Every structure is written in C-alpha cells, then in structure tokens.
C-alpha cells in the first residue's frame, strides 16, 4: 500500500513538474535535457564539429542536445540497454555498457577517432538497498571514467552523474587526476532532494 501511495505521489509530482512540462513543450524527451543545457551554457562543453559519446542515453534527451550543438559536422554516438526512438544526427547502439562485446561495438564505431566529450547519465536499476545502489552507481561511474580516459583526446571533457554517498569522494579524487580541472555541478533541473550531482572534468591531461 505504501509503495502504491509513493508511486502515485511521484507520478503527480512528475506530471506537474515545470521542467517536465517545458521538455514536452520544447520537444525534448525528458527534463534531463535542461541539466545538460545549463551545464553547457555555463562551461561551454559542447561545440560544433565535436565527436560526443553519450553513455546511458535513453530516452535520448542528452543526445538531442549534443546533436543540436555538435551540428552537421559533428558525431554523436549513444549507448543504452533500453531502446531509443531514432534521433537525427545520433548513432545508437543498444546494449549493456557492462558487456565487453557491447563496449567493443561502441569502440569499433569510433573507427579510431578520438572523442571530444564523454557524457554519462547512467544510473543503476535501484533495488532500494542504499549501500548496494550506491556501490553500483559508483561502479558505473568508474567504468565511464575508464572509457573516457581511454578515448578522449587531450583537452577533452567528461561529464558524469554521481550520487553523493559512500565512495563519492574517492571517485572524485580519481577523476581529478585525469583533468586540468574538475567541477561539481547541481543543475536547477535536478530535484533538490536528490543526492545526484554531476562531475565535470575539463581538459583531459595527456597520457
């Protein structure tokens, strides 16, 4: 009964959410688009002609923003376990980021081309067990960082969602070693009560 009440409350909040309404009005697939746009407008993350990889892309709102800002001379490669309706300017691979074969498909699609920006809005399927969920979230962030370190060109950027909690500071310190600067961002479109923040690494250091 409690779960049903909670679900109904969440649905009412979601339907009445100003960011959700704005996303529908402006043709974005989710409110998350505004998180990326706010960060981009502040930190100038996305530029025309860029090669961008979007990890955990479904339903596609970050890819929408990236494709529009990278323009016709850019490339956006998106990956998710869930299907995504086709998007103009976005090459989509469906599969599990944890699967080595899927990761190889993504790497093959780059054709050896260095990446300008890696975006990761991946979150695990939540079990409700806080410690387990946090551990899974940090693990996904670590894998995204590993991918970014391997494929970003020198000077490239990395944006990743992380939940504050156990392992957060250790991950932040690990990420900071690879970039000229590492910033913490909490966009207005993030719900205040959410523990999510975004770590933004700018200026990938040369290996």
Output the CA–CA distances (angstroms, integers) from residue 199 to 66, 106, 172, in the order listed.
17, 23, 8
pLDDT digits (tens, 9 = 90+) for 110-144: 999 999 999 999 988 888 888 999 999 999 999 99
Task: Let me know if residue 80 belongs to a domain.
Answer: yes
As beta bridge partners, residue 52 has 76, 117
Task: Let me know if residue 15 belongs to a domain.
Answer: no
pLDDT digits (tens, 9 = 90+) for 16-30: 577 687 777 666 768
Q: If pLDDT is split at 50, 70 and 90, which confidence band does 104 have?
A: very high
Task: Let me know if residue 198 belongs to a domain.
Answer: yes
CATH at residue 85: 3.40.50.150
Question: Active-site residue 161, yes or no?
Answer: yes
Task: Let me know if residue 161 belongs to a domain.
Answer: yes
Domain that residue 61 falls in: 29-204
pLDDT digits (tens, 9 = 90+) for 46-100: 999 999 999 999 999 999 999 999 999 999 999 999 999 999 999 999 999 999 9
Give me the number of domains the chain comprises.
Answer: 1
Could you give the CA distance from residue 42 to residue 84 in angstroms, rounded to a whole number?
Answer: 28
Task: Count the alpha carbons within 13 Å of 71 in the hemisphere toward its beta carbon.
Answer: 6
Q: What is the pLDDT of residue 190?
A: 78
Q: Report the run of H or E that residue 146 belongs to, with start and end.
A: helix 130-151
Position 31 pLDDT exceeds 60: yes
19-22's contacts with Cβ under 8 Å and 24+ in sequence apart are 19/189
Whole-structure pTM value = 0.88
Could you give the CA distance from residue 76 to residue 126 in angstroms, rounded to a whole number?
Answer: 28
Per annotation, catalytic residue among 47, 72, 161, 188? 161
| Residue 187 tokens, joined | 């966009």
């Amino acid at each position: 009964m409690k779960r049903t009440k909670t679900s109904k409350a969440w649905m009412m909040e979601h339907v009445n959410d100003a960011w959700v309404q704005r996303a529908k009005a402006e043709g974005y697939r989710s409110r998350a688009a505004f998180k990326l746009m706010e960060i981009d407008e502040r930190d100038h993350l996305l530029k025309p002609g860029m090669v961008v990889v979007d990890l955990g892309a479904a339903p596609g709102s970050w890819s929408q923003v990236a494709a529009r800002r990278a323009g016709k001379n850019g490339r956006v490669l998106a990956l998710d376990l869930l299907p995504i309706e086709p998007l103009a300017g976005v090459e989509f691979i469906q599969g599990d980021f944890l699967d080595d074969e899927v990761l190889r498909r993504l790497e093959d699609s780059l054709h050896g081309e260095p990446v300008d920006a890696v975006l990761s809005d991946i979150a695990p399927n939540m079990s409700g067990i806080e410690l387990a969920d946090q551990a899974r979230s940090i693990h996904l962030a670590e894998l995204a960082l590993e991918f970014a370190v391997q494929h970003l060109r020198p000077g490239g950027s990395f944006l990743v969602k992380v939940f504050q909690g156990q392992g957060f500071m250790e991950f932040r310190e690990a990420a900071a070693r690879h970039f000229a600067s590492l910033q913490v961002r909490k966009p207005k479109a993030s719900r205040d009560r959410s523990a999510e923040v975004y770590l933004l690494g700018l200026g990938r250091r040369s290996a």
